[in-house]
Structure 1
């Protein structure tokens, strides 16, 4: 018997990603129960007329935000966020006027339906409104990435005397130096915009048919060559069991690592107008600094510095470990787009060091550890990382098996002596797994507890499937 569609039951935590891909045996009523929504809501968010008709592999949006969400990001030619840009967003009879934030973004909005018309305007240098985008919302969270063909450099100068020309402040001097050393962007492709012929536009399909509007293109070709290796394909239950058998551990341990490290995301859609997917990453400037011998610390502290990025709540605070004694926007951890902006800029300075300075994929394996994954060649490591989730899982297995034993930390008796990562994975030693991934400060973020909770959630879910 099918439950009434108005009945809402509590979700099973951490089981259904949003969006969700339909699997064999799924029904809309079962999916609604598992995510705590009603059948009527799922029908509206996905444009489903007949709730009985689902296809294996079909993508379903499980919230209004994932179905009708709207996000906008403004970047300059070097992929730096454009802050304080005046914008006007119109949809569903609403007019939102404001300025982009420090990350170059407009606060995420949710349209009324898939048929909502969305118009986006920006104010140009002559204080005139220019329409850049006019599109229908459609189904799926719409990501609009606008990349300017120009480089935005701050022009605020400090007072001077006795100099031939003004001397920029330290922060602005760094920005100007980075601009001067970077390669010029390629000319964007696409059709000229009606409002501004100098701007070219494209409309492409994003993840699962999600519409994506892109203006401008600027990515190093050699980096793009890696991304073109993508073949796709999610990790199946058999894949989990195969690698877990090789490691003599439970599949749920590996699933927990993926959940905590990347939220389970292995790839993001490339929003540069060239199509393709890119592995999920986290750029680590302290590794880039170490690998390049601090060569770029003084000129590019945003991407090369002995100390890692800080959390956003520390923005503006004094910090003697930062290059100018305080936590600036360049010192903030940032979001996914920020990591790729930093990778691209670092790649132009030193491609090998840049690739080694990122944590890659579903399991966030640092590039510098490619040999531990069983790949002596960084190029082969990157190729596998870019091909599919299954290849990433194979790299994880190598990383676990080849990690040398760690000596116990005298300040933490919970860490055993000479326990390898492989031993920790076999015995579900969450503290030791956390130590290998996050170092001695893993307790600060309760990493071991997050791993254990994720494991228990997956264990419960997998047991329910087998029952």
Structure 2
């Protein structure tokens, strides 16, 4: 059986301010919003075990799915047709991963959720990697890499507008599933955001759309930064003599009369094409 005690040990670097700023820029939201979600989703805990291996959970349902169920009978502890709470927790999860790697390495890595935000390996592409091994290798380095994977997952699942506009219930429903209320994820995120933002409220996508409409645009005020909103921002920037980016950056927000003094990262640093 393979030895993952050494294979999956990495630098285990903690989160830095620049990691939060990078994720906020990618998602087009405030740093305070990223910090709030990170605190709630990680429980305020490190993404690494004391031995510098990433925290993991092995998902037997995914291993069943990715291997066509051919190991259900012989390895029922790591391959099940439905979700069951069969986790061992902590370092013992690597024992389950070891067992799966001996059967099918790629499926095993894809069936494991990694790091601070527990993003499954099967999501390697949305996290920006060409294969699951490259994704896993990055997760060994830092919590910043864990945060990057989270940002990719949020973007792929079109939850960035919810995060940008601080619609905590909608975000928690999409990220945590319909049982989010039981754990009060939305309330916890709202409370954490209030602490990190100092109580300040930044402009939302809806605010940007309304400000553009007041200046002659004819946008649906739907809170989604789609291609029409992008085009309207570009037209406004052109008329205002600003760099034409299609992004509601701080200079554009200020020209629209929308304050963004409390957060150095643009509210809409990345616009969706939806």
Residue aligned with 2:36, SS: helix
Structure 1 position 396, deviation (Å): 2.4
**Which of the numbers 359, 362, 367 marks the counterpart of 2:121?**
367
Structure number with the higher strand fraction is 1
Per-residue CA distance 1:111-168 (angstroms, 9 max, x = gap): xxxxxxxxxxxxxxxxxxxxxxxxxxxxxxxxxxxxxxxxxxxxxxxxxxxxxxxxxx
Q: Please give the TM-score of this superposition, normalised by the length of structure 2.
A: 0.64
Q: Flag the structure with more relative contact order, 1 or 2, with Cα contacts below 8 A and sequence separation at least 6.
A: 2
Unmatched 5+ stretches in structure 1: 1-182, 184-217, 271-276, 311-330, 405-419
**Which of the numbers 163, 170, 176 marks the counterpart of 1:432?**
170
**Which of the numbers 30, 44, 50 marks the counterpart of 1:269?**
50
Residue aligned with 2:49, SS: strand
Structure 1 residues 307 and 243: alpha-carbon distance in aligned structure 2, compared to 1, 3 A threshold: same
- Aligned: 1:353 with 2:107: yes
**Which of the numbers 30, 35, 38 marks the counterpart of 1:255?**
35
Structure 1 position 457, deviation (Å): 4.0
Per-residue CA distance 1:423-458 (angstroms, 9 max, x = gap): 111112222322333233333433333333333344
Contact 1:374–1:399, Cα closer than 8 Å, also in 2: no
Contact 2:14–2:143, Cα closer than 8 Å, also in 1: yes
Structure number with the higher helix fraction is 2
Contact 2:56–2:112, Cα closer than 8 Å, also in 1: yes
Structure 1 position 387, deviation (Å): 1.1
Partner of 2:81: 306
Structure 1 position 347, deviation (Å): 1.8
Structure 1 residues 243 and 348: alpha-carbon distance in aligned structure 2, compared to 1, 3 A threshold: same
**Mapping of residues 50-89 of structure 1, within 5 Å:** none
- Aligned: 1:288 with 2:53: no
Structure 1 position 459, deviation (Å): 3.7
Unmatched 5+ stretches in structure 2: 201-261, 263-274
Structure 1 position 280, deviation (Å): 1.3
Per-residue CA distance 1:89-120 (angstroms, 9 max, x = gap): xxxxxxxxxxxxxxxxxxxxxxxxxxxxxxxx
Structure 1 residues 292 and 267: alpha-carbon distance in aligned structure 2, compared to 1, 3 A threshold: same
**Which of the numbers 239, 242, 255 marks the counterpart of 2:19?**
239
Count of residues paired in the alignment: 201
The Cα RMSD (Å) is 2.7
Contact 1:262–1:280, Cα closer than 8 Å, also in 2: no
Contact 1:262–1:361, Cα closer than 8 Å, also in 2: no
Structure 1 residues 454 and 282: alpha-carbon distance in aligned structure 2, compared to 1, 3 A threshold: farther
Per-residue CA distance 1:185-241 (angstroms, 9 max, x = gap): xxxxxxxxxxxxxxxxxxxxxxxxxxxxxxxxx724xx843x25x234322223312
Per-residue CA distance 1:232-285 (angstroms, 9 max, x = gap): 432222331232133221223222332233323121133xxxxxx211112211
Structure 1 residues 280 and 255: alpha-carbon distance in aligned structure 2, compared to 1, 3 A threshold: farther
**Mapping of residues 35-434 of structure 1, within 5 Å:** 183=1, 219-220=3-4, 224-225=6-7, 227-228=8-9, 230-263=10-43, 264-270=45-51, 277-310=52-85, 331=86, 333-401=87-155, 403-404=156-157, 420-434=158-172
